Amino acid sequence: MRQETKCIQAGYTPANGDPRMIPIIQSTTFKYDTSEDMGRLFDLEAEGYFYTRLQNPTNDMVAAKIAALEGGTAAMLTSSGQAASFFAVFNLAGAGDHVISSASIYGGTYNLFNVTMRRMGIDFTFVDPDCSDEELEAAFRPNTKAVFGETIANPALTVFDIERFAAAAHAHGVPLIVDNTFATPINCRPIEWGADIVTHSTTKYMDGHDTAVGGCIVDGGKFDWMAHADKFPGLTTPDESYHGIVYAEKFGMGGAYITKATAQLMRDLGSIQAPMNAFFLNLGLESLAVRMQRHCENAQKVAEFLQANDKVAWVTYPGLPGDRYHERAKKYMPNGTCGVISFGVKGGRAAAEEFMKHLQVAIIATHVADAHTCVLHPANSTHRQMSDEELIAAGVGPDLIRLSVGIENCDDIIEDLAQALAFV
Ligand SMILES: *Cc1c(COP(=O)(O)O)cnc(C)c1O
């Protein structure tokens, strides 16, 4: 199946007389005939469901669709993108371990790594995604357990060199984790470029309609845990909480990572996506391919309009030929990148505020990447506590406006921007 068909058909094949849509299995628990049947599930000896804190059939069908779209072997849904990022790393690294991350990542992920996971005893080194080979090499330590990056960073719109970071990670015997939220598997499939694990905030384009917060983790199934057994004892030595199962032996390269994350992390920490939310997510996935195409078409036109407008100081969009990441974007995302643009209006912070006040089609919202065009002024919201000097140092200047171009008629979006720019 091609991507457009997988969006509709993957993950669930109804049998004779079954519902056509993935059904919502709104049940916390599941019935068995004997205690022995139940026991085999608890020992991971049989496949099946017993309690929705760990696994639910609706979630698994939707996760299987995302795994098919990404070209992975196994996947799980989480309650949010934050939970996906946390589980993806925590499934490999614990106290005393170290992780390398691109410095150009979503702010929420940066806080999770740099504050909360440090408090759990995991150390992080943040590297410039365009650093020299020497700098990248120097970041690795004997206790490094993973490398992390974002295909298109939110909101900096840096394009991550997946192949380069995958090669460096593999040379040190560790997997590359890529957050593919902004590109989606419609525009980029990181596993094909060497990534081992892919994460998503499904809250964004995948859901696409402002309906449900959620996340997903996909395993590419290509990382050989046993070949680096000393680095990943959680996967390669017996788990006493499951009668001594060795995940990498019992479930192989294709299944070990997600089985461990389900059996240990979901069991102990919860954070599963509600089946109802998984149903909404599936509705979004069905139209993901057509929506992404339209988001990219609209964003390209809007970026070109902004670039040509004399009230606009600068525009960052990887689809623009002059953009710093244009060539890399063409390599990894030949069909388009995403619908998010950042730009500044002449006159700085005050001009940005004036401009946004007059928008009518584009709404002001702390959100990106869905059907509705929306704008955010980070200096007045997500980055409000920072001084102008700190904002510039963080690459989020006081004039920066993040514009998430939706799938409305593009002429309406451009006319709205034009009338609001006239007030600046
Ligand atoms: C929003 C976002 C997240 C966090 O996802 P939530 O669903 O809000 O928890 C992670 N990564 C990226 C790139 C995001 O845009």
- What is the pLDDT, as a whole number, of residue 29? 96
- What is the pLDDT, as a whole number, of residue 392? 79
- Please state the pTM of the whole predicted model: 0.97
- What is the pLDDT, as a whole number, of residue 276? 98
pLDDT band with cut points at 50, 70 and 90 for residue 389: confident
pLDDT at 394 > cutoff 80: no
Q: Give the residue, by CA position, lying nearest to ligand 1 atom 2.
A: 201
pLDDT at 397 > cutoff 90: no
- What is the pLDDT, as a whole number, of residue 12? 97
- What is the pLDDT, as a whole number, of residue 351? 95
Question: What does the pLDDT look like over 193-206, one tens digit per residue?
Answer: 999 999 999 999 99
Distance from Cα 353 to the centre of ligand 1, integer Å: 25
Which of these, 284, 62, 322, 332, lies nearest to 183 by C-alpha position? 332
Q: Is the CB of 199 inside a 6 Å radius of any atom of ligand 1?
A: no
pLDDT band with cut points at 50, 70 and 90 for residue 269: very high
Question: What does the pLDDT look like over 299-355, one tens digit per residue?
Answer: 999 999 999 999 999 999 999 999 999 999 999 999 999 999 999 999 999 999 999
Distance from Cα 362 to the centre of ligand 1, integer Å: 21
Q: What is the mean pLDDT of residues 102-125?
A: 95
Q: What is the mean pLDDT of residues 78-107?
A: 97
pLDDT at 257 > cutoff 90: yes
- What is the pLDDT, as a whole number, of residue 267? 96
- Going along the chain from its start, the domains and CATH numbers come out as 3-283 (3.40.640.10), 289-421 (3.90.1150.10)
Q: Is the CB of 187 inside a 6 Å radius of any atom of ligand 1?
A: no
Nearest atom within ligand 1 for CA of residue 82: 9
Distance from Cα 109 to the centre of ligand 1, integer Å: 8
Bridge pairing between strands 144-150 and 176-179: parallel
Q: Is the CB of 155 inside a 6 Å radius of any atom of ligand 1?
A: no
pLDDT at 53 > cutoff 80: yes
Q: What is the mean pLDDT of residues 25-44?
A: 93
